[in-house]
Chain A
Amino acid sequence: MNDLLSLVHSLVNGGMDMAVEMGAPDLILAGIFYALAGVAVLSAVGVVLCRNVVHSALLLTASFIGTGCLYIYLDADFMGAVQFLVYGGAVAILIVMALMLTRRDDMDHSNPSRGLFHQVGAAVVAGGFLLTMGLAALLSPFREAPASPGDSAAGLADLMLTKYVLPFEVAAILLLIAMIGAIILAKGADEA
């Protein structure tokens, strides 16, 4: 019995050591990253290519959720939760609007592709954006990530309510103005 156990132990440990030597941990981590990034990017491509505007909006959620999962993968779980909560909810509203503002019978062609002029314009804008973001990413001095970011929510809260309290409040006032504007629009100008 003991011989059998030690045989199993040596087999398991040997296999694990071999896997570590062959770089399995890095491979698994990279695999997770590329799977999540693939979800985010491919569904973003789908948003552009889908002919049905509801499908586009649903794929937009998939893209947002993929990005949120990437945040969680990078130990920024607060950012990930914000991504899920804010963008997921927003897309539901977006779809409701899309459904209410388009006719049901032509839903399959509700997101038509435009002429060459529009396509070239979109390509120029997208290319310029990619270039700017790429340059910004390459030029910014990223610091080595700390071993464990610890309690990111508490750190963010401290910063937001001390050092960055002014921008935080300005953003809040901006949202309040937008909300009041939306209410006035929804109620109708003659009523207000």
Chain B
Amino acid sequence: MNAMLENGVVATVAGVLREYLMLLFGNQFLTDLIMKFIGIGAVIGVILSAAIVFTYAERKVCAFIQVRLGPNRVGGRFGLLQPFADMLKLMSKEDIIPAGCDRVVWALSPMLLFVPSALAYAFFPFDKGAVFADVNVGVFLLIAISSQAVLPFLMGGYASNSKYAMIGGMRTVAQMLSYEAPMVFSLLGIVMLTGSLKMSDIVAVQADNVWFVLLQPVAFVIFVITATAETNRTPFDLVEGESEIVAGAFAEYSGMRWALFFLAEYANLLAVSILTTTFFLGGWSGPVLPGVVWFWLKALFMVFFFMWLRWTLPRTRIDQMLSLSWKVLLPLALANVMCTGIGVYIYRWL
């Protein structure tokens, strides 16, 4: 049991599985290959179950904040089977293709949107030693890959042959590109403190010292605000703003195509929660309980926090939102980088 806590539960389970596979096949390469596929399957499983759990959780949290009951018919008093009912409904819906749309681009958009969201999960340290791809430039590659989510939105908006979708697509570009800058600069402070771009190093440093939320409070606030904007959630959901542009880039999609947009949205929600946990809340580090339990406690709390924000705050205006990014968050993030630099220098000098 102690050894399990020492090495991380996930890594231990993977080790046992690897031993059995080795015993069965007796070939190192084949065992490694199968373990890689099991890892991919586990990551996809996490994303899909997150989408199922979060559609239910979002409706319950929303109902709780608005003093309602929320889903309470399908599957007992608490409506636990509601997500499955939703899933069946979405799958049985008619696939409506808008007239005059750019067919290929229109069909590719929801599929491509899911790719960067899912790829980002390869870099998350779920537990000690449980990172699918622990590369040297992890943080940078993660930002690079997740920034690719802009283009599929624009593709959907352009190809739908609808003015609302077009405005939504244009807004996506303006919003996601302008919030990416402060987000990257807020993470730079953490990279400077860690001295590494490796995700596992960032968590390891926090496990040995203190959580970065204490050392980088400004960066934490900037990151949470920009993360809300990057996932297109209220108060920054101008990309879909129901009362203004119907549903933005995915106004013309129905059935499973629309469901893919939603899947990507919830994958992104979990992704930014995991990122906040990893960068600021110490990742899997914590006393007594195994690492993976701590990781999910923190990540799910951050998911709840983002839902809380969504159902508490009203939507901003597009010009307010853009000026917040360029005139407040970006200078603040740059000042934070400078102060961190001076702080690191003084700390070394002491």
A interface with B by C-beta (< 8 Å): 5, 8-9, 12-13, 16, 52, 54-55, 58, 61, 65, 77-78, 80-82, 84-85, 88-89, 91-93, 95-96, 99, 150-154
List 8 interface pairs A-B (beta carbons < 8 Å), by A numbering.
A13-B26, A77-B135, A78-B137, A81-B141, A81-B144, A88-B144, A88-B148, A92-B173
Shortest beta-carbon distance from A154 to chain B in Å: 8
Q: State the CA gap A26–B137 with chains docked (Å).
A: 27
Binds A, one of B1-9, B151-159, B284-292: B151-159
Contact A99:B25 (CB < 8 A) given known A12-B30, A77-B136, A80-B141: no
Q: State the CA gap A92–B102 with chains docked (Å).
A: 17
Shortest beta-carbon distance from A157 to chain B in Å: 10
Residues of A within 8 A of B144 (CB): 80-82, 84-85, 88
Residues of B within 8 A of A96 (CB): 154, 170, 173
Residues of B within 8 A of A65 (CB): 148
Partner of B137, one of A8, A9, A95, A152: A152
Contact A12:B26 (CB < 8 A) given known A81-B140, A91-B151: yes
Instruction: Tell me whether B136 and A85 are in contact (CB under 8 A).
Output: no
Pairs A-B, 6 closest by C-beta atoms: A9-B26, A84-B144, A81-B144, A85-B144, A81-B141, A12-B27
- Judge if B147 is at the interface, Cβ distance under 8 Å: yes
Residue of B nearest to A20 (CB): B29
Q: State the CA gap A154–B180 with chains docked (Å).
A: 23
Instruction: Tell me whether A16 and B140 are in contact (CB under 8 A).
Output: no
Q: State the CA gap A152–B137 with chains docked (Å).
A: 8
Instruction: Tell me whether B27 and A77 are in contact (CB under 8 A).
Output: no
Residues of A within 8 A of B23 (CB): 5
Residues of B within 8 A of A88 (CB): 144, 147-148, 150-151
A58-B105, A99-B158 known, 11 other contacts, Cβ within 8 Å: A5-B23, A55-B105, A82-B144, A85-B147, A89-B177, A91-B151, A92-B151, A93-B177, A95-B154, A96-B173, A153-B137
Residues of B within 8 A of A9 (CB): 25-27
Q: State the CA gap A89–B177 with chains docked (Å).
A: 7
Q: State the CA gap A55–B158 with chains docked (Å).
A: 11
Instruction: Tell me whether B147 and A153 are in contact (CB under 8 A).
Output: no
Instruction: Tell me whether B148 and A84 are in contact (CB under 8 A).
Output: yes
Q: State the CA gap A81–B135 with chains docked (Å).
A: 12
Instruction: Tell me whether A61 and B145 are in contact (CB under 8 A).
Output: no
Residues of A within 8 A of B166 (CB): 99
* Interface of chain B residues 83 through 139 with chain A (CB within 8 A): 102, 105, 135-137
Q: State the CA gap A54–B80 with chains docked (Å).
A: 44
Interface size bracket, B side = 20 to 34
Q: State the CA gap A81–B144 with chains docked (Å).
A: 6
Q: State the CA gap A12–B151 with chains docked (Å).
A: 44
- Judge if B227 is at the interface, Cβ distance under 8 Å: no
Shortest beta-carbon distance from A3 to chain B in Å: 13
Shortest beta-carbon distance from A132 to chain B in Å: 30
Partner of B154, one of A5, A77, A92: A92
Instruction: Tell me whether A84 and B145 are in contact (CB under 8 A).
Output: yes
Q: State the CA gap A78–B140 with chains docked (Å).
A: 8
- Judge if B24 is at the interface, Cβ distance under 8 Å: yes
Residues of A within 8 A of B137 (CB): 77-78, 81, 152-153
- Judge if B264 is at the interface, Cβ distance under 8 Å: no
Shortest beta-carbon distance from B192 to chain A in Å: 12
Contact A93:B136 (CB < 8 A) given known A84-B147, A85-B144, A85-B147: no
Residues of B within 8 A of A54 (CB): 102, 105, 158
Residues of B within 8 A of A55 (CB): 102, 105
Instruction: Tell me whether A61 and B151 are in contact (CB under 8 A).
Output: yes
Instruction: Give the residue among A77, A80, A150 with the most B Cβ atoms within 10 A.
Output: A77
- Judge if B303 is at the interface, Cβ distance under 8 Å: no
Residues of B within 8 A of A84 (CB): 141, 144-145, 147-148
Q: State the CA gap A84–B308 with chains docked (Å).
A: 33
Q: State the CA gap A89–B137 with chains docked (Å).
A: 19
Partner of A152, one of B24, B25, B136, B170: B136
Residues of B within 8 A of A152 (CB): 136-137
- Judge if B197 is at the interface, Cβ distance under 8 Å: yes
Residue of A nearest to B23 (CB): A5
Shortest beta-carbon distance from A74 to chain B in Å: 14
Instruction: Tell me whether A8 and B136 are in contact (CB under 8 A).
Output: no
- Judge if B143 is at the interface, Cβ distance under 8 Å: yes
Q: State the CA gap A189–B5 with chains docked (Å).
A: 66
Instruction: Tell me whether A8 and B24 are in contact (CB under 8 A).
Output: yes
- Mark B147-181 against chain A: 1 for CB-CB distance below 8 A, else 0: 11011001100100000001000100100010010
Instruction: Tell me whether A89 and B150 are in contact (CB under 8 A).
Output: yes
Instruction: Give the residue among A52, A54, A81 with the most B Cβ atoms within 10 A.
Output: A81
